[in-house]
Chains A and B, each alone.
Chain A
């Protein structure tokens, strides 16, 4: 169905946004329903699997497995995907790039879906990179703007580097486990944790997760990625792509989790990123940017909870994952509604919109109440279970609870910023004269998401049974220890919640002074992004210096470096290797001596002449002499090739020579002569030592015996080229064609600059 939608999107882009634009949304909705059919079986412990052989020799398959965690993600990706596709189809209705946007979004959705349901490490990595590349395209969607391109490149580089580290980590894990199935690796947790390679695996995998999920010190790419259009940010940077990192942490918890290294990395990094992001969220005036920072906060809460490594923390992490997906995607889309309806998403520029935009006000209020954690919304339950988990934390329970409390209070301030400031208590003000609610295509998605936040809060048992418990089972491998409920009785979590509300309320009232203080302090604070910039500048400087030194445009310089390197390698091999000196006898064949004379005379002519034409012709003499040697010793094919190449080279040089300046005197250069001597003598000695080595005819015998029976040819050289090693030849002729096209292009470019 996805393929159908893609085809139609491409063909009708030019015709204008017809009803086809709704097809991706419909397809995603259908996929959601299909996955919803699995909720029942999966919650009863069934785990559907599907395996398609890929590289069976290496034990790599397209293996997919739908346990509770994968199913929840599949539902989020398809469900939120349907709403976002609908939103994008309306948001970009009159934009002729709508087709390409939807196409890339679908490609992204497929990658993300594959990533979350994959059970094979290599399959997972392929889809992981798929999300990296498609998100690069999506962030840089406004590719005519310099800022978008830079943000896209930054996101690509940071997450791409992390992806490479992840690949290395997964391969080490696969090598140790003897299987690439994640489900089988997860059963070998003891083995991984006891291994000496564990720290290396941990660091590599976490580099992948932290870059993808924007944890400190890699958090800076996510706010930059807000250069993407609003629907893209809502989808990639709230509900799906950035969650790939926490998904993988959760997925690999049975294999890698629970160690001291795990706990003492994830908890501090999560907590620090959480505080950092929620403080900086308060500093923003652009509502979308503010949401980006709160997204980092949401991701780091999950990271921290996964780090705590108790069953209660797993419940909290999985619950908060769902809470966050609903309210954050809803808020991102709603900010787009404010922008479309009132003309700006900077909250100082809009105010008093409640009367003019009642629908937008309601939707945002619902989503923001969930974000603030107010009862009876799902966010309230999410916050309660976090405090519950903090109480059970084996390490630093006070630290976990305290940081979570501060971050949650800051979230309340941010919720007020997006839900109260633009709408209530102030006279109406907006860049657009007549602010109004946007059409149904824009409000339907956020409204459904906001309503889901309320629904899940009112019926926590259903959500617990259908989604959270199976997710927790996938992460911990045991039954969920707690059940979600609105009313937990009076206890520490409730008291902490009340403190959070009080603190959050104060923070909201102090929003303006806090923001101005932070803005004033901002320039003097250290930024990890500066490290990234410095690294980028450094790489560019090294590359520039190297290119300038090696590729200076002078042919003699290229040749000198190439020959020197080759000569050095040859002499190194001679000294390190075990060459033997052959028995040396002078030839008595008259033909050998004749060829020797031809070649030597030709070389002397090359060296002595002042005319290029003579030099080239004399070089042809050297080549022809060598061709005759090949003929004499039975390598007819090689001789023929040598001869024809020799002829063509002379023709080419003759044409090019017309354009070269006159030679004049060519002084003898000692350096060049030395390079030539090093290489020439090296080749000579190597040839001799080859003669002194015993020749193993194993390959020759094999080809002689199997050439006719299995390839039906008598000419072994040709049979090897086109049959036994056909794949090599395929590569070679591809290179020949590419080189040909490139030289033609280079020649034509040269012609243009000359004019």
Chain B
């Protein structure tokens, strides 16, 4: 039961939502947003694909297994913690290698560092877990529907 309107809209909306989610994630450290919200937003994009085009299409769009994405996110967070530990001797201490602070207290340089990596980990954990449960639920429901039809 595909809806033409929904699937056409999805084709346009899905990249937009994903870009928005990355944007929300990116601005998170200084303005409202962050890894958790970004991850939720990205998950809604894939939920939309799933509803419009079906489970297989959503799995293809995600490319990787959702559990693997969640595990990758956890790994990112762990690496960022160890990074801080190696640099300053405290697990999860923030490291910003490309940022310098001038005399007036203004910062210059690229905002990449261990905290960025940590937030990225949160993003992937949320995305992977939500998609994982969503796909598994849809899988169960659709198979049960098949069983009944047989």
Chain A interface (Cβ < 8 Å from any Cβ of B): 636-637, 640-641, 644-645, 647-648, 651-652, 655-656, 658-659, 708-709, 711-715, 717-719, 721-723, 726-727, 729-730, 733-734, 736-737, 739-741, 743-744, 747-748, 750-751, 754-755
Contacts and interface: CB of A to CB of B under 8 A. Distances in A.
11 contacts: A640-B33, A645-B40, A648-B134, A656-B141, A712-B115, A718-B28, A729-B122, A733-B77, A737-B129, A743-B133, A747-B133
Nearest to B145: A658
Nearest to A658: B141
A744 B66 CA distance: 11
A643 B25 CA distance: 16
B22 interface: no
Given A733-B74, A741-B67, A722 B136 contact: no
Contacts of A747: 133, 136-137, 139-140
B124 to A, nearest CB: 9
B67 A740 contact: yes
Contacts, number: 153
Given A651-B47, A737-B71, A712 B94 contact: yes
Contact of A648 (B33, B40, B71): B40
Nearest to B84: A726
Contacts of B51: 651
A736 B126 contact: yes
Contact of B133 (A644, A723, A740): A740
Given A641-B40, A709-B105, A733 B141 contact: no
A744 B94 contact: no
Interface in B6-59: 24, 28-37, 40-41, 43-44, 47, 51
B137 A736 contact: no
A648 B43 contact: yes
Given A652-B134, A718-B33, A747-B137, A727 B145 contact: no
B137 A656 contact: yes
A741 B28 CA distance: 27
B33 A651 contact: no
A740 B32 contact: no
Given A658-B141, A659-B141, A637 B29 contact: no
A709 B107 CA distance: 10
Contacts of B94: 711-712, 723, 726
A712 B92 contact: no
A657 B26 CA distance: 36
A730 B122 CA distance: 8
Contact of A751 (B40, B71, B122, B143): B143
Contacts of A715: 28-34
Contacts of A730: 77-78, 81, 92
Contacts of A640: 24, 32-33, 37
Contact of A727 (B92, B126, B139): B92
A672 B90 CA distance: 50
Given A729-B122, A740-B70, A744-B133, A644 B37 contact: yes
Contacts of A741: 67, 70, 132
Given A656-B141, A715-B32, A721-B122, 9 more contacts: A648-B44, A652-B134, A656-B137, A659-B144, A712-B111, A713-B115, A722-B119, A740-B129, A744-B136
A689 B78 CA distance: 41
B34 A751 contact: no
A711 B56 CA distance: 42
A13 B136 CA distance: 39
Interface string B114-150: 0100110110011011101110111111011101000
A452 to B, nearest CB: 49
A713 B37 contact: no
B115 A637 contact: no
B137 A636 contact: no
A640 B20 CA distance: 13
B99 interface: yes
B109 to A, nearest CB: 10
B138 A655 contact: yes
Top 9 A-B residue pairs of the complex, sorted by shortest distance between their CB atoms = A740-B129, A636-B32, A644-B40, A714-B30, A713-B29, A718-B34, A726-B92, A744-B136, A747-B136
A644 B47 CA distance: 12
B70 to A, nearest CB: 5
B72 to A, nearest CB: 10
A229 to B, nearest CB: 38
A733 B126 CA distance: 8
Contacts of A734: 74
A655 B78 CA distance: 34
Contacts of B143: 751
Contact of A637 (B34, B67, B118): B34
A744 B32 contact: no
A750 B144 CA distance: 10
A658 to B, nearest CB: 6
Contacts of A645: 40
Contacts of A726: 81, 92, 94, 115, 118
A681 B99 CA distance: 51
B91 A727 contact: yes
Contact of B122 (A722, A723, A739): A722
